[in-house]
Structure 1
């Protein structure tokens, strides 16, 4: 954070600032209601001009820029009435007011806190977004250190189209709002490959910092803002040039603004990857605020909201679990059961279900509660009535599970059960166990392949892989993931025919391509494990990788992929 030296001045001016903002807000509301009185906009523009001057005196650069954008927006409304711009201007007034309060209370200025508000105004006005690194200072003349290796430019040109496709799959999923972590990892892997293959060329430094920025976004779980999405899209445009211009593109320097923005994102991370740590060390950009700190301060300034539905579902699940524990003890004959208390719990669950529109399910629970309220403590747990109680509780639990599922897209884990007497939670847990075993098998396979390369292609280190892949295939069949199963089968054939029985070492490029195939499957399974669907685009990446190895998967050619040579 940047400490400000003129907090006293801000304190003296705060009342005038608040008055000016209140007057501007009233004038804007009057303009919106009276449908086009230019005098109101003149008052708004004058107030924003005054705020700009105050911000300059206080040396608050972000507030100065935002006040300027607000003044320009007011002038633009004189020429053309725009509801979206009016809304954005109203939001900006509130945000700027909170920013002045934040600076006064925290005795520090974080200009990055206003980037989102400034960009919202610019977007509403049809302007391009400013970069998040707008207020970030760094010496862009510094060279890459350590220097890039010799690389394989020819291999990069040959593999560029597939690596761009890998990146595009991740970018498309990210823009759609799917599993951000897995998609970012896929994008980071593509840039890692490009960085290694490009070697010591004019673009080497750009791919180095772009890789560091993407890895930081993934590893540190940084928020994906519109400005960051725009930067990631710029990376794809540079990849497109690489695909079409080949080595000529590698000889051209990338725009310095892209390098600056990439360094800024790396500076917000923890430097957890080797590449990010190198970038932070070279540019001296690792001692400032982290993205987690930035988001926490932004939430402090603007307030935050949670999911009411998620809170309700959590409370229902806890209540049902307590009732289940009571009935389990009754079934075991461990303790006397207070069925009046159980009935009270069922009524509480029913009341909550009614609040979220589940009246039919709530009615069933109320009827069951009335029926059991007078049961004696020694009620026969083998009776039909007791089993009916358990069935109703299971139905209520599945209703809550369905409520939770409504908060996220469907995926391969939360697949509907064909038997209504199966607990969805238990079914999901069983599938999750299989997913975990498959991922453990992939991790073992990756370690074996790494040992195989490190020990001069000694086949002893991969002799266990056919059995490992057979186990993974069995798990994938259980999960009904046919495409992933076919990719694993292709990887197994490649290992058996080329690595174990082959006459020549496969070489680094082939091993990297094999790793791409396995990584795609692992990311897909990871998305299931985290209950954040990634989509099947990542399977396209794996299928293209095994096809490049000479083991095309059935149906892969017909499906194609999302890569667009025109975009």
Structure 2
């Protein structure tokens, strides 16, 4: 298609278009200075309209589309139809500057690629309240029409097992989707999905619905191989595929003759086209749907966007001016020291913070060589200030010469600006707004890199080596923000860096989901704050930073009052500190725990429900709200699980009286049902339900392994659980879940039966009967573990006595929670009953960020 464009005409017109847009910007500037000057805005609109017409005439439709969106937004500004006029005017200036650059790229690359300017197109549309364009709107694969199967073939595929199979496949797909939405065990969930789609591909082979499953299968496989991350957009497409499976389950075999919606296939194929996977299935799909012609490669689009996204010369000049002014101030301070008596070398410490800020800003902007020179001088000045080097004339002149070299190098990077020499009044010597915006934009890019490192760490099976670049990225952004200055955001990043160095980089145990969520919330909050600053540098973002600081506080860290005085060189962990941290790790309790022996359900990600009225207890701020759509999926899945239990549990009971063999298929289905309730329940925080389901699943595992016989006690328990499940599910659906004695008793009976112990009764006295004998091995394991938890609590109490307002630590929270759960499982009910209210108390204090007082400590 490129050879159809008239590049000669573009060569003639692009200079004229650039001049016309410059005039349009000048008219817009006049309107911005005087909003009552309607003639200026009309002139701007007329000039942009001319550009649009010219681009349409020479048939460069991508560029013409950008010009059209500029014209539409200019018209909306003129008619006062925009909700944010200042933002819209700035966006027009940006777009008018970008269009000539885009035309230059079209001319040099010989292709008009609208995908390159799609983000800018959507910004322009969003400013006037229009729906956004997607990359798929420019994506046109050659969809294949598959003929419907005849009645004979449908009858052959309509087996008695088909409805049950489809129902099981959907349950598996829903559970995997729920896991993806909670980002828990992503690789495992994708593996389940791959099996489901592969089976559906076989069932719908050569049928109109078949392409959906083949494409979905290929997409999930490429996600498994790391080509795509678990994003909301992909999850949305997979949920749409689940809707098609639901339709198929409802319609039966006739449903395979109805193809999937074209937009769904198109959206899925769009991701296939973007993948660089060389798997045979992927290559076959790309050939079958002609995807190479429908969408250019990622490398082409990314390269072109990178060329378009770079800062223009005017903005770079402004940043360089600011950096050079900072260097001049450093040289002036150095000169004062040189001219003095040089007795107080500690005065050189004052040079360190500005030099660090300059070095970090150079790193963010990608100026590697000048930054290296500044880093070298930092080491020299630090040595002089600490008395490690003599402040001789030669040493000091070397520092001054290096600073002068960096200053002249930076000035040469931007070059001369001929237009600025003609219009000296148009560009201030120090344009702070441009400096702030450029630094903030680059800081956001580096923060995104930091988030990618954390995601890579999670996807890489918690390999700490993948976190190596993280601290350097955080420090870069922190230094740049401190220079602008955005001191509070910089201090939050400094505290994030402390947490990463003191925990993620050294702890042997992997971080919990709550800890990762808190870290992600902090970084995302700072990123959102910077986004708001880009939109309006006068905006007040304290509320956003407050939320980020709350997330940081849940990790046990608070920002320093003055981050500018914290030496960045000292943020590197020394060898002595590493040894000290190793000593701390040696104090951790033994790795063998009662939870491992009994496959305990207790988990920091899934705390038990609180035994208080929900109306008096707000949601814990350390747990994000469960997605409403995820709740609906779970409740629908729970209903299906109940149906399965009502079908298979009676079948299993009936088979128990038929001799030495029972219906193993029915038992497997029952166990799978409780496994589903446990896993999915934890994902949506259906805490009471998941704890009950786990206890029953644990018991059924023992039955399947032959360790427990399914006698009358087991059957009676199973019947009572089935009768109770609807009310527990209803509590969750009504947001009314709370600790229930009936659920606790059933769970305790299930655990006791699983461990070969006598099931506890309703009588508390009976549960403490003198004649009851606990498992000695189990009791010894519990005793060792409990002593470790009690030591943790004792250390906390000792430290709390010396603190004016002690706060609950994560270690105390884990100790009480694990002690409670272990006591329940070991059957040491007196300790369990004592630990339960304490666990509840500290969770409330921790969740609401309340310092514990003397009465509670006593």
TM range (shorter): 0.5 to 0.7
Partner of 1:333: none
Structural mapping, 1:131-530, within 5 Å: 131-143=134-146, 154-160=164-170, 163-171=173-181, 188-189=190-191, 191-198=193-200, 199-200=203-204, 202-213=208-219, 215-216=221-222, 219=225, 221=227, 230=233, 232-240=235-243, 242-243=245-246, 246-248=249-251, 251=256, 252-286=258-292, 289-303=296-310, 370=386, 403=494, 405-406=496-497, 413=510, 423=577
5+ long unaligned stretches in structure 2: 148-155, 313-345, 361-377, 391-470, 477-492, 516-554, 558-572, 586-591, 607-660, 701-724, 735-858
Q: Counterparts of 1:413 and 1:92 in 2: how far apart (Å)?
A: 46
Q: Is the 8 A contact 1:213 1:266 kept in 2?
A: yes
Partner of 1:82: 83
1:424 positional shift: 5.9
Partner of 1:15: 15
Partner of 1:338: none
Q: Counterparts of 1:202 and 1:424 in 2: how far apart (Å)?
A: 61
Partner of 1:493: none
Provide Cα deviations, 1:333-362, integer angstroms capped at 9, x if missing partner. xxxxxxxxxx9xx999887667799xxxx9
Provide Cα deviations, 1:372-403, integer angstroms capped at 9, x if missing partner. 669xxxxxxxxxxxxxxxxxxxxx99x97985
Q: Is the 8 A contact 2:240 2:264 kept in 1?
A: no
Provide Cα deviations, 1:415-467, integer angstroms capped at 9, x if missing partner. 88999986469969x99xxxxxxxxxxxxxxxxxxxxxxxxxxxxxxxxxxxx
Q: Counterparts of 1:400 and 1:424 in 2: how far apart (Å)?
A: 20
1:100 positional shift: 0.9
Q: Counterparts of 2:57 and 2:664 in 1: how far apart (Å)?
A: 69
Q: Pick from 105, 113, 117: which aligns with 2:116?
A: 113
Structural mapping, 1:549-560, within 5 Å: 550-551=697-698
Structural mapping, 1:13-52, within 5 Å: 13-35=13-35, 37-52=37-52
Answer yes or no: is 1:129 the counterpart of 2:116.
Answer: no
Q: Counterparts of 1:115 and 1:133 in 2: how far apart (Å)?
A: 11
Partner of 2:461: none
Structure 1 residues 417 and 26 mapped into 2: Cα distance closer, same or farther (>3 Å)? closer
Q: Counterparts of 2:26 and 2:699 in 1: how far apart (Å)?
A: 66
Q: Counterparts of 1:6 and 1:125 in 2: how far apart (Å)?
A: 32
Q: Counterparts of 1:559 and 1:58 in 2: how far apart (Å)?
A: 68
1:91 positional shift: 3.2
Q: Counterparts of 1:51 and 1:354 in 2: how far apart (Å)?
A: 43
Provide Cα deviations, 1:107-162, integer angstroms capped at 9, x if missing partner. 23322112222222222322222231333332213549xxxx97966434345355
1:67 positional shift: 2.1
Q: What SS does structure 2 have at the residue aligned with 1:271?
A: coil
Q: What SS does structure 1 have at the residue aligned with 2:43?
A: helix
Partner of 2:754: none
Q: Is the 8 A contact 2:122 2:133 kept in 1?
A: yes
Q: What SS does structure 2 have at the residue aligned with 1:164?
A: helix
5+ long unaligned stretches in structure 1: 174-178, 306-342, 375-395, 432-468, 485-501, 521-535
Q: What SS does structure 2 have at the residue aligned with 1:108?
A: coil
- Give me the CA root mean square deviation: 6.2
Q: What SS does structure 1 have at the residue aligned with 2:386?
A: helix
Structure 1 residues 261 and 216 mapped into 2: Cα distance closer, same or farther (>3 Å)? same
Structure 1 residues 424 and 2 mapped into 2: Cα distance closer, same or farther (>3 Å)? farther
Q: What SS does structure 2 have at the residue aligned with 1:47?
A: helix
Q: Counterparts of 2:265 and 2:225 in 1: how far apart (Å)?
A: 20
Q: Is the 8 A contact 1:212 1:275 kept in 2?
A: yes
Matched pairs, number: 409
Q: Is the 8 A contact 1:45 1:75 kept in 2?
A: yes
Q: Is the 8 A contact 1:195 1:204 kept in 2?
A: no
Structure 1 residues 353 and 15 mapped into 2: Cα distance closer, same or farther (>3 Å)? closer
Provide Cα deviations, 1:226-248, integer angstroms capped at 9, x if missing partner. xx855653542453564588433
Structural mapping, 1:65-76, within 5 Å: 65-76=65-76
Q: Counterparts of 1:277 and 1:552 in 2: how far apart (Å)?
A: 47
Partner of 1:393: none
Structure 1 residues 55 and 218 mapped into 2: Cα distance closer, same or farther (>3 Å)? farther
Q: Counterparts of 1:11 and 1:302 in 2: how far apart (Å)?
A: 23
Q: Is the 8 A contact 1:24 1:43 kept in 2?
A: yes
Q: Is the 8 A contact 2:136 2:266 kept in 1?
A: yes
Q: Is the 8 A contact 1:9 1:58 kept in 2?
A: yes
1:36 positional shift: 5.6
Q: What SS does structure 2 have at the residue aligned with 1:253?
A: coil
Q: Is the 8 A contact 1:191 1:207 kept in 2?
A: no
Normalised to the residue count of structure 1, the TM-score between the two structures is 0.53
Q: Counterparts of 1:300 and 1:425 in 2: how far apart (Å)?
A: 47
Q: Counterparts of 2:579 and 2:27 in 1: how far apart (Å)?
A: 55
1:283 positional shift: 1.0
Normalised to the residue count of structure 2, the TM-score between the two structures is 0.37
Q: Counterparts of 1:207 and 1:28 in 2: how far apart (Å)?
A: 52
Q: Is the 8 A contact 1:2 1:109 kept in 2?
A: yes
Q: What SS does structure 2 have at the residue aligned with 1:140?
A: coil
Q: Is the 8 A contact 1:215 1:273 kept in 2?
A: no
Q: Counterparts of 1:408 and 1:278 in 2: how far apart (Å)?
A: 47
Q: Counterparts of 2:225 and 2:297 in 1: how far apart (Å)?
A: 13
Answer yes or no: is 1:100 the counterpart of 2:103.
Answer: yes
Q: Counterparts of 1:19 and 1:86 in 2: how far apart (Å)?
A: 19
Q: Is the 8 A contact 2:194 2:221 kept in 1?
A: no
Q: Counterparts of 1:29 and 1:404 in 2: how far apart (Å)?
A: 42
Larger radius of gyration: 2
Q: Is the 8 A contact 1:164 1:239 kept in 2?
A: yes
1:14 positional shift: 0.9
Higher RCO, 1 vs 2 (CA within 8 Å, ≥6 residues apart): 1
Q: Is the 8 A contact 1:167 1:186 kept in 2?
A: no
Structure 1 residues 347 and 73 mapped into 2: Cα distance closer, same or farther (>3 Å)? closer
